[in-house]
Structures are given as structure tokens and as C-alpha cells.
Structure 1
Amino acid sequence: MDNDLSINDVKTSVAIVAEINISENLVAEVVNPIDIEFTPKLNMQFDTEDEAYDFYNAYGGKVGFSIRKDYANKSRKTGNITISKFVCSKQGFRVKDKRDIHTRKPRAETRTSCSVLMQIRYDRKKGKYVVYNFVESHNHPMIIEECTHMMPSQRRISVAQAIDVELACESGVPLGNAFESMSRQAGGRQSIGYTKVDQQNFLRTRDRLDSDEMITNIFWADSRMIIDYGYFGDIVTFDTTYKLVQSNRPFMAFLGLNHHRETAVFELALMYDETANSFAWLFDSFLNAMSGKAPQTILTDQDGAMAKALAQVMPRTRHLLCTWHIMANAQKHVGTIFRNDEGIKSVLSQFMYCYDDKDDFCIQWDVMLRDYNVVGNTWLNNLLGLREK
């Protein structure tokens, strides 16, 4: 046997031995080298709970295990955290899901009831958080140093990476393509420091919070709305014409008709802006609230960002344009062109209700453009491109 083993060979061998020992109900510790200054100690002090968490997370990253916050107690009087407990991510066991019996490939158990933890409590006299309990010994192998940066508690999207993700999203680049491109720039997936799921979660969080971490987009649907949607949600109108007077933020509604031809409200939303990302978040939230049931047909205005989001989130839903919005936009864009007794509404109504044949529609449209001398009108040409809606 060759005695010249590399460090990687040794680490691999140790990890294999550790796994064998655990399978035989023996405890094996495989620990990455760590400086004594990074090891928690009893009575160690921190200014804030976040500072204690970051310290313990850095320690976990160097040793080779991921951490999570198990619980935190708050004072009823002040609302400040008095006791907090950080544990190894393999602590305890996952709660049994009753739906597992219907799952073809249930998730494998990854926890080992590891007892490693660090507990802190607030000392009023010192005005500090003090470590009062620390358990160091694991019952499972550690992650090798080359892979610790991809553990859940260690993954981070840096400011520079966040900017790249946002630019790619706003430019219409698919998230998968953007992730692969950034991975190559970083030297491979193992070096980028986050996963595709982290990237998706970042964009969702960004769409809900502003720079001050305040809520931006919100929607609500009560039980009555959800029940009504189950009965009458085949055709839905998404109305964005309402505005809040003070903040001027879009107030939107998902509406329909019940069996008495009365308006049924399925969902309401208060939005920070009307970007494609915000609309995608809203439509995705709508589907989640309605158990994944998408409407067969949805009627909206001519907003391009909305159309992009609908195609992404509800690809099988037929997207049509609301005639009321078309008329309102026509009055605004070309109302001055049709200043005769008929008016723009009368002219466009013919194309909405009178021509079922495609050839007849196109012939009469060309006649209308020539009669009113608007052959090169951009808005009308764009409207013609949307005639199927």
C-alpha cells in the first residue's frame, strides 16, 4: 500500500470510518481544526443576540456543522429577548408528516438527535448576553472544510451578488441561466456561496420588503373569498385601477361573478409598485391561497409587466384584455383622432363585437386606418397585435 496519502485521502477515510461507527450506534467525532479563540466558553459575553448567533455560526463553519436557532424567550414587559438557544442543525428528529404515506419517495431522515448547543441569557446588571450552557460533542461526522460554505447557515448572497441577481431578473434572464453564469464566473457552483433556492428566496424577499425592511406588497383572502373562488373562479378579472389617495399605491382586486351575476371578491392586494417581479409574487401568492387552482381565463388591462408575469406564473390560463380598459386607453391615446359623431368607442366597438372572421377584421381595420389617416399610429398598431386577446 502506498504510504504517501494526501490530506483529502485522510479526510475521506476518516469520514467513511465515522459513518460506519455511527451505523453501529457508536459515537464518532470528526472535527475540522479550529483555533481556541473561536470556541465558545461559559460566561462569554455579547452585546446583542445577533452577535452571539454570528459568533456561534462562525464557530460552526470552522468546525464543520450547520446551526439553527431553536427558541428565544422574550420579556413581556420590554419585548427584549432574555434567553436564546442555538443548536446543531441535526438536533432532534423531523416531525412525522401524516402525508408521508401518500408520498412515493419520502424524504430521508437527516437528523441524528445531536445534543450540541449554546445557550445565552441576558444579564441585566452587565447589560450583556452571557453564555451559560455549551455542549461541544457531536454524534455525527463533520462537513469537510472545503464544503462548509454551502451549509444552510453559512450560505450568503453578498451585496455584489445581489446586484447581479437583480440585474439579471430585471433584464428578463431566466433564473437558472443567471445562476449558471454566476457560477462560472465564481469558478464553479462550489464557489458561488449560495444555491438556486437561495436566489429565488432572495428575490421573493426583495419583492416584499423595501430598503428599510418594511413590508411593501401584501394580499389577503378570507375563507369566504376562497370558497367563492372554488365555485366561481373559472373566469377572473384582475382590476388595478384603484389607487390609495394618500400614498398613491396600487390597490388591486381579483373579481368574478357568482350565480346571481353579483360581483364576487376573490382576493385583494396592496402593492408597492407595478413591476413584473411584484406581479409574479402576487400571482404566485394567489395560487398558493387558492390551493394551486389557476383560473381558466383572466381579464386584465394592457400592462406589459403584468402580461409577462401571467405568462410565467399561469402559463395555461387564457389571458384576455378587458374591453373597458381598452376603451379608456383608446380615449387617452387616440381620442383626439376620432372627433366625429361616432367617436373612438363606436369605431373600436365594431372590431370587438361585429367581425368574427379574421380576414374581414383585417380588411376593415385597414379601411379604418386609411379613412382616419392613422396608418402609422403606434398605439393602434400595437392594439392590432393584441387582437386575439
Structure 2
Amino acid sequence: MMFDSIDDAVIYYRRYAKEKGFAVAKRTSKKGNDGVVRYVTIACSYPGIKRTKSTNPVQLKPQTKTDCKAQLRLSLCPNGKWILRSMVLDHNHGLSPSKTRFYKCNRMIEPHVKKKLELHDKAGIRMNKSFNSFVVAAGGHENLSFLEKDCRNHMEKVRRSHLREGDASAMHHYFLKMQADNSEFFYAMDFDDDGRLKNVFWADARSRAAFKEFGDVVTFDTTYMVNKYEMPFAPFVGVNHHGQSTLLGCGLILREDTNSFIWLFKSWLACMSECPPNAIITDQDKAMKKAIEIVFPNARHRWCLRHIMNKLPKKFKGFKDYESIKFCMKNVVHDSLTKEEFEESWGRFIKKYQLESNEWLLGSYDERHRWVLAFVKDIFWAGMSTTQRSESMNAFFDKYINKKTTLKQFFEQYENALAAKVHNETVEDFNSFNSRISCITIYDMEKQFQSAYTLKKFTDFQNEIVGSICCSLSSCKEHDNFSEYEVHEDISHREGQRSVIFHVYFNEDNNKVNCKCRLFEFKGIVCRHQILVFIHRKIYRIPDKYILNRWNKNIKRRHTKIRISYDNWSLKPEACCYEKMCNAFYEVANLAVDSENAYKNVMTHICEMKK
């Protein structure tokens, strides 16, 4: 036989081997005096004598060497073609045509599959799910020309090629690209004396615009780790008009010390035009606390209530009255409506369980203005008591990042995560525009909030209307320019139902209503006790000052007008050609699928084009 090239000979022998049930490889080649390859041997992949390298006789690795002699030998002819000079067809091992797809020489990933794998990786789709999609499309594993391992190897190779410049350099190029696309993109990088990257902060144009809308209250948490480098991911998270978490910038820091936090907070402050947040929620980190006092001296700083209460098992698990101590402390913290009530209840709690010398409780009491609800509910916190917003943002990023994620990949996936957040907000904007929740009362105040608030925030208000069923006015005291109402609310309790008294103050001059529960101050939602007083006073339309722009669905938010650009593969020339061809193929398939003649005609043309 004659072949135009060695590659043609390898392809031919490989096709033969696939039918018979073995694997082949190009084994040897010999050059002539002129330096040109003139002799080539293509052989079965089982040649050679098996050798054992392991020194442990009970941990031997499987061997594939059988010293098989099956082979083809070819030589170069004067006309440039290759001729088959000799061959051995017999093998000294078993053959299995049904298993040949597992041999490496028969495994091949087509270019379009590689593109899909890379797109799936960018979209954050895990490899097992990505591979299963190919299995389903092919009608079974046996119809695929590659294994899941081949897909993983391909993506590892792609990722390694991305990292040739180095992560810090690639990150810098990414920042420059984003800034060139939109001058409002902000970034800062902090290097040590040796030029190594220490800390980094960035915020895209949309996050900066969103801060102007929702930057009054921010949560900050560093418990999430980019595990490959163990650099804490530090997102600044706010709450949008739907009650969703929104990203207001983020950083990666090398160490969780005061200097790193000071650098990060100053970078964020510079990004936000030197406008600090009104309030910030963090955990009890001392370095973080010190940095906030330096960079945000006028911001109200509070600690995550859940973090503190979760420490109770650790602090009191060994106590005989542990369950009772835990239950009592939670009641003191959650049920005290005023500072005075807390001080009184706390004193009884300490005395009852003889905890006067407990250092953790003493320290917590000294910082009570940072975490006890009665001390913090006097200002707006968008309803947040914990850093759960930051933690939910971390959990959200988990869909896109794993422990092997490099910094370069992290920024690519950050864009995907941000795009998903933008999409979720856009969907909620549409839902609030396109649909509404029916009113359950006849009062105009409910219609006010129905037409003004987003669906989520209208639901919060409606819950307060429903909750007013459990409330009753018991007394009213008239003063010079205001009335004091006593509202009793029946509350479900672990030990049964109990009645709690709330004092509501109504000013007749300006229709201002203040409630002891401070829900409106804390969450921006009129409480059930205020609603009851309004109805009692026959004020069925609530004053505009109680309808916050922050939750209003009718306001055009500036951050929604910001264009965000992504480094999309589909913008590249070869990708455009590929997409156009695919779309054309799909269009033809749709036209031909209902006709047997058309189907055969199309397939004939495709086969000719493939040749």
C-alpha cells in the first residue's frame, strides 16, 4: 500500500485498530544521511517488557506492556509517498472492539466541543454537569469520542495558558481593560516593598452608582476565602429596593490586620467620592473595629448579632443551667424594647445565674451599644441585624468559584456573578412593574403602598397590616401637643401566648407617629402599632414621609442605566463566524426536519462538505 503522508498511514492503521480492538502509536523513526525521516514504525501500544518500579510488593501498579510485536513499517519513496514494507498482524493479548473508545489514541475532543467546554467553564457550570450534557446529546457514553477526564485535562490546559503572564499581571490587564471600556471603573492595588501584591480593591461603574442609591447601610465580612491563595474576599454589600443584596465594591486582602483594613476602607472611600456610609455591620474583629474608627469615624458601627448569640454554646456549654442561661439571655436581648428595659432585665439575668465574674459577658455588656437591639434601633439599618447579607453574597459566589480558582479565574467569574445579580434585579424590576399583589383591606393606605413599593416591600407592609389583627388599643393619654396610646399585641412565645405593651405617640400638628418598637426607624416599614393608631384617628392615607424613596418602584435608579461590558468570547472574529455557521445549520435543520427527502438532501451535502 502507498500513503501520501505518515499521518495518513497512522489514521488508516488507527481506524483498522479501532475495528479490531487495540490501540496504536507511532513508535520509531529513522533519518537518512540528508537528515530527512525515511523509515517509520507504527505499532500496537502494548510493546515493551513490563517493569515494576514500586518497592512495595503489595502496592503494584497495573501494567499494559505485553511485548506485542504487531506493527507496520513504512519507508519514504523517491516520489515523496510512503510505502508499506512489512507488517505483523498477530497480537499476544486480548482484543475488544467495544472497548477501543477508552484508548487514548481514539479519544479526541472536537473543536466545537472545546468551545462549549470553555463557555460552560466561564458560565460557572461544573465539569460533571457539562460532560453529562454531551452524554445526553450523544445518546450515551458509548457515542462520545472522549471521556470526562479528557475534558478536565483540556480545561486545565486552557487555564494554565491563561496564567502565563502571572495572576497579578493578568489582574492588572483586566482592570485596565475595564477602565478603558468605562472610565468609572475604579481599582487600587497595594504592593509590598518587594513588588508582591498584598491587597486589591475594585468596583465597577454600576456598583459605584448603586452606592449613591443604597450606600447608607453596608455590611462587611471577610469569612470567605479564595482558597488557592487564602486571600480573604471582602465584599461591601448593601440592600437594594427589592430587599436583595447588592455589591458595592470588593477587595482581596493578604492579612486581616488593622493596616490592611485601613488601606481597603480608604480605597473604598476614595472610590465613593469620600462619602462614607451612615452605618456599617461587621463581626467582632478588633482590627476591623479599629480601622473603622479611623477611616469612618462618624459612621454608626454595629456587630453582627447572630455571631454573638452563636457563641453561647462555646461560652456556657459546661454550665449546669446552660439551656436556661441561653434561653434567658436571648429573651433579654430580643425582648427589651428600650435601653432601660434591657438594663433592668440584664441585671436580673446576671444575678439569677451568678454570672457577675464572667469576663465574656462583662466585655459584651461594655460594648452593648454595638449589638443589643434596644441600643441600635434608633437609626435606619434597612432591616439588617447581621452580616448575613455578606455571607449570602459569599454563598452566591460559591456557584462560580471553587478551591482551585486562581486570581485570574476569580475575576472572570466575578463578572459572571455580577451579571447574574444584575439579571436578578432586572427580573424583580419587571415583576414589580408588570404585576401587583392584591390588597386585603379596604383602606387607602394599603393602595398607597401597593402603587408605590416594590413587590417585596409591599409584602413587608402587608404583613404589618395582617399583624395589626393581633393588636388592640387599651388606653390613650392626651398631652399638650400629642397623644400617647397604649397598644397591646398578642405574641406567640415558647412558653405560650403573651401580651406585650407598645407605646405609640401621635402628634396632631404634623400627623407624626412614633412607636416604641422602632420598626420604621430600623427597617423603613410602618409598623402594625402605627397602622392601628392611624386607623383609630381615621387617617386612611398615610403621610408621604412614611413612604420611603428607598423602596419605591417608580423611581428610575441611576445604576440601572450603567452599561457593563464583559470580556465575551462571542465578540471575537472567529467566534462570530462560528456562531453564524451554527445559526445557519440550525435554520436549515428546522426547515428540513419535517421532510424525509429534504433531510437526506441536507445530510448528503453535509457529508460532501465534511470530505
Q: TM-score, normalised by structure 1?
A: 0.43
Question: Which structure is larger by alpha-carbon Rg, 1 or 2?
Answer: 2
In proportion to residue count, which structure has more helix? 2
